Structure 1
Amino acid sequence: MLKLPDTGQTTSYTTTYGEDHDYSINPPSYTDNGNGTITDNVTGLIWQKEDDNTQRTWSDAGTYCDNLTLGGQSDWRLPSKKELISIVNYGTYSPSINTTYFPNTNSSVYWSSTTIAYNSSGAWIVLFNDGYVVIDYKSSSYYVRCVR
């Protein structure tokens, strides 16, 4: 089971109970491993600290991660949609991520490995300017942050 961290949302404009701002059970917690990687202490995932600032198609993004050697490890992969959402910080904007641990993150779009269920030519993407999660064609070019 993938435990997701708190979204960081602290304000709500509705009176409905049970929204993100009502909970803070898994606050984000990261460790900088000092070798270009960051460990997420909530999910146990190890992330590439900084992407290489290159936009790629979905296929090329997967190949990049498959071929990446970082922190003495070579089992990197493109993160799933849920995994990528787990590092979004909805309490910040442009970029929507903890820049102490993930510096120089582009306030732009990053690929997930998750293919759209009804159309294999598309995949889920996460916009790190505001944390939105949407879909696009795999032929588009976006940034990639690998995980293991």
Structure 2
Amino acid sequence: MLKKVTLATLIVSLLLSAVVMAVGTIELPKTGQTSTYATGDDGAIEGGVAWPSPRFTDNGNQTVTDNLTGLMWTKDANLPAATKTWQQALDYVTSMNAG
């Protein structure tokens, strides 16, 4: 019985480690904080990924892409036909990301 439990634990451990390796890591951007107020804060560590240059790209279709995060934003916060249902808003974002 103990051998079966040990074998099952080993198999689960191997599967979980494979999943964790497939997920990878997230590289957070630098915060820009340089003053330090306590050991281990952002100013002391200054860790993270450097901001790309240029930070933003104008896509020429009334959207801007943030090259640091990969997020796309509209250039004008006043969207056409500003009142949208939830589904209309999702459809609008889908159409922006498809372009």
Q: TM-score by structure 1 length?
A: 0.32
Q: Which has the higher strand share?
A: 1
Tell which structure's C-alpha radius of gyration is larger: 2
Higher RCO structure, 1 or 2 (CA under 8 Å, sep 6+)? 1
More helix by share: 2
